[in-house]
Structure 1
């Protein structure tokens, strides 16, 4: 299991956290199928479909998986049904349907159509690193992140965590790297960069297949624009696009790491997952030590 997106939160009061307690309670809050009028459900899922393996532990890290099942009701279907109903009323009763009445009709239609809608499942993987005091998610989706936090709090009663607190503005730090051609020694710039200006409309320019240190990029930075995202490679272990909100996207772990995990595996889906997770979590733990220094992230 190699994360392709990374969002990091810091844990507080980890001395009061019990991995054993969480492991024991995961099956008590499983993802269930949507009922006829459920918009969505959210709950824990086994790491492997149709198994009883709800977590994997490695060097004070615990891998878990949650999922969301939601009823998918295409907007085109609702719109078509709404237009037909409104037209019928206007023809039969000879009057115009107002905005509020139309909204009420739409709500009734959604209620009646939802039981017939098909259900779609999406998942979110996460792990808790008690040594580094981190919660690491493989998603940057705000809605899924919020639901995961709620589920953790419901499962454990409380789950104290905070977003990363950077004392240095990530946008300004990355801008400074490019303006001064002074990227940290452990980093190399990639071929993707997005910059934005400080106006209200936040005009953006995206550069692809272009060296971020090129004159085309730095010229705009000299005029006051700042870096919103930047493709980077860290040591020989991983590459990613670093965003000004401190999330990582398009994460790719080096093939040598994956080969090492393959060699460590005893064979089988669960053993493969265990080996992959062990190397991935150690790599991210090491990476976070550099990450903290770049942006002066405060330890909780």
Structure 2
């Protein structure tokens, strides 16, 4: 189940090109880290445990995929401590100081020595593309991680002009109005979390409230003092709860009981369970995204706009 939603959009012409995604990803499967590699990235099966299982799963207009990574765990503190030991040993045995160029070479040699012995951490990020509505949905709150995943898709397809959201209505101002005047859009209600900041300066005062009644006087006082909403806990249709940021990243997504009760759990295999769960949950997410697109006036890019903006996510990273 997705816990976060970081979103991009793509045009109808890009959607038509996604039919070749299963074959394109197959040439970019995750491979193990080599002895001197710090990290590798690639695609892994979204359902199934065998390396050669399919790398996509199509459910209606949505194509699910998973980006995997293997990362060597080599803490900088360990490397720096060992480097200092070597520098000190040279000073004691040879009676000289180690210059910057030699220190750099020593560090490179040290990394080559330690990398093959380092533990490997495996990670994965789930996502899907919806050809009908033009959404890329990634289960992360990290812009950098999302951009890395898009880069993997671009490398596989050769081109994937998915662009960041471009709302015509300012999320911060709208959410501040919702909280100040209780003017939430139909279907939405307040959750129990908010982050308020003084927008005057980058280092302005910050107030974070969790498990808090947002009707409380202390919240109202922050608003009267000029703070604005940067993150706001919301409930949608009594079916989803989440925290919406001014960057329109959906964090702490939870499917409420009325949704989870619809999962009967009658499937007997992994594929059947995956299909049933993700068809239901992605449908709930699609309803939310459709409302957010309307509220914040988030356009789907035209084919020309998508081509012009293809490299923009890389710049944003």
TM-score tier, shorter chain, comes to: over 0.9
Instruction: Note the C-alpha offset of 1:101.
Output: 4.1
Question: Structure 1 residues 86, 9: closer, same or farther in 2, change over 3 A?
Answer: same
Is the contact between residue 7 and residue 165 of structure 2 (CA under 8 Å) also seen in structure 1? Answer: yes
Aligned match of 1:158: 159
d(CA) in 1 for partners of 2:264 and 2:204?
45
Conserved 8 A contact 2:12-2:131:
no
Secondary structure at the counterpart of residue 44 of structure 1? strand
Measured in 2, the distance between the counterparts of 1:142 and 1:212 equals 28
Query: 1:8 corresponds to which residue?
Result: 7
Partner of 2:311: none
The runs of 5 or more residues in structure 1 that have no matched partner are: none
Matched residue count: 298
Map 1:219-234; keep pairs closer than 5 Å. 219-234=221-236
SS at match of 1:267: coil
Displacement of 1:125: 0.6
Task: Give TM-score, length-normalised by structure 1.
Answer: 0.93
Q: How does 1:1-300 map to 2 (within 5 A)?
A: 2-14=1-13, 17-47=16-46, 48-50=48-50, 52-99=53-100, 101-198=102-199, 199-262=201-264, 265-300=266-301
> CA offsets, 1:69-89, max 9 Å, x none?
111112232122112111112
| CA-CA distance at 1:99 after TM superposition | 4.8
| Counterpart Cα distance in 2 of 1:251 and 1:66 | 20
Normalised TM-score (structure 2): 0.88
Contact 2:125 2:139 in 1 (8 A): yes
Q: Secondary structure, in 3 states, of the residue corresponding to 2:98?
A: coil
For residues 203 and 72 of structure 1, what CA distance do their matches in structure 2 show? Answer: 36
Cα distance change on mapping 1:19 and 1:161 into 2, 3 Å: closer
Measured in 2, the distance between the counterparts of 1:102 and 1:202 equals 40
Distance 1:202 1:17 in 2: 46
Separation in 1, partners of 2:96, 2:291 = 67
2:312 aligns with none
User: Offset at 1:104?
Assistant: 3.8
How far, CA to CA, are the matches of 2:217 and 2:299 in structure 1? 34
Change (3 A) 1:269 1:85: same
How many angstroms apart in 2 are the aligned matches of 1:132 and 1:13? 8
Question: What is the deviation of 1:143?
Answer: 3.0
Distance in 2 of aligned mates of 1:95 and 1:103: 16
Distance, in Å, in 1 between the alignment partners of 2:297 and 2:248 is: 12
